[in-house]
Every structure is written in structure tokens, then in C-alpha cells.
Amino acid sequence: MSNRQGISGFSEPFVVILANGTFPQTNKTCSYLSSASRLICCDGAANKAVARGYVPDAIVGDLDSLDPSIKERFPNRIIRITEQETNDLSKAFNYCVSQGWSNIVILGASGEREDHLLGNISLLADFAVKTKSVRIITDFGYFCATNQSKTFHVPKGSQISIFSLNPQQEITSRGLRYPLNRLRLTRWHMGTLNEALTDKFSLELTGDSPVILFVAD
């Protein structure tokens, strides 16, 4: 598989991790699967990928939900990790980091069970400090995270929602329709439904606690 510059916003090849939530539904989201340099499936997500004609480069997890026929078909691509302190998405992400892959797109992290979605989104706070670029991409937009002041490049008019994992951290924005001026986001709804006035905006953080963003398509 080869990277098609522009689909993901990455100028370098990227790896897709497919989680075992709802399989991507839109042509745009599915295009990441066909454009990735590698496809890493979380355990049971391999069942869905293979059923749709995709071939995983690796299947990572405790294998409790992997179809036996997949095990037989790809015995040399299975990375079994039995410890239960992390979920399969963390196992797959850590595997990618161990291989030196620094641009990562996560698909299939949403849908089905909402508690899994919240857990997967919160993991971005840990993932973002371990690799160059990582996003959770859904059929409606993407999540990313940062623990430092940063400028984000997005299409003008993009809908932006900001979630702070530390209610004491102060956030200042530039380039958003509704400015944040040393605002503490003590509730998750407080930073939602903003808008980029140009093709970029910036956030200034007073500390190093993680902030999660959702950019809607």
C-alpha cells in the first residue's frame, strides 16, 4: 500500500491502526485504509478488515476475539500480548512505536460501545507524547491531542471542540471565533462548537497537561 499525500494531512507515509469499533463507513474514511503504508489490526478488528478484503500487516492483542480462521490464515502476522493492564488499542499503538513508526492514524475507535470510545479518546493524551503524529479519525472528523502550546492547520471554517483533562489549566486561543483568554475548561462542554476563522489557529497552554481537540469535517 502506498501513501497518497493530502488524504491524511501527512507528507510522509502513515500507519493505520484499526480498532474493533464500528468499521469506517464513508469513502473518505475508508481511503485511509487503502492509503496506509501498513495496516495494524487490534485483535477482533482483523475479522472485519479481512471480511472486506483488507490484509493486515500485523494483528495485535490478547486474541480473545480473533476468528480461528484468521489465526490459521495469518499465523506469522499475529502479535499476541496477554497482559491485561492495557487494552488492545494500547497494545497496537505500543507495537507501532516499538517499530519506529511515527505517523499513526487510528480508525474504528468509535461506535458500538460509548465507554470504549471515551477510553480510546483519553488514550490520545498518552499517545501524543510518544510519537510524532497520532489521530483518531471517525466518519465525522478527527481527534488529536497536545500537551504544549501549538498552532494547528485546518480548513477555514472548521468546527473545533477543545477538551482539557486538567480543569486547572488555563488556555488562550488565537484564530477562533470565540476566543479563549486564560480560560479554565472545568466542564467538557465549555470548549465545544468553536470555529477556525482562517486556515490555522493556535492554543497557548499554561502547563503541560494534555488537551484533546476534535476537528469536524
> Over the stretch 127-138, which tens digit does the pLDDT of each residue have?
998 988 999 999
Q: What is the pLDDT of residues 13-53, one digit of tens each?
A: 899 999 999 999 999 999 999 899 999 999 889 999 999 99
pLDDT at 189: 94
The domain ranges of the chain are 15-139, 150-216
pLDDT for 5 equals: 33
Q: Is residue 1 predicted with pLDDT exceeding 50? A: no
Averaged pLDDT of the chain? 90
pLDDT of residue 61 exceeding 80: yes
Q: What is the mean pLDDT of residues 55-61?
A: 95
Supply the CATH classification number for the domain 15-139: 3.40.50.10240
Burial profile 171-206: b = 16 or more Cβ within 10 angstroms, e = fewer: bebebbeeebeebebeeeeebeebebeeeebebebe
Share of the chain above pLDDT 70, in %: 95
- String of b and e for 3-34 (b: at least 16 CB within 10 Å)? beeeebebeebbbbbbbbbbbbeeeebbebbe
pLDDT in the model for residue 11? 59
**63 falls in which pLDDT band (50, 70, 90)?**
confident
What integer pLDDT is reported at residue 6 of this predicted model? 36
Tell me what the mean pLDDT of segment 82-109 comes to: 92
The residue-averaged pLDDT of 192-203 equals 97
pLDDT value for 161: 97
Count of C-beta atoms within a 10 Å radius of residue 140? 14
pLDDT at 12 over 80: no
Rounded average pLDDT over 91-99: 95
> What is the pTM assigned to this prediction?
0.91
Across 160-179, average pLDDT = 96
Q: Report pLDDT for 48.
A: 94
HSE, side-chain direction, 13 A CA sphere, residue 56:
29
Burial class (CB in 10 A: 0-12, 13-18, 19+), 209: middle
Using the predicted structure, report yes or no on whether residue 105 has a pLDDT greater than 90. Answer: yes
Q: What is the pLDDT of residues 110-121, one digit of tens each?
A: 877 888 889 899
Residue 3 pLDDT > 50? no
pLDDT at 114 (0 to 100): 86
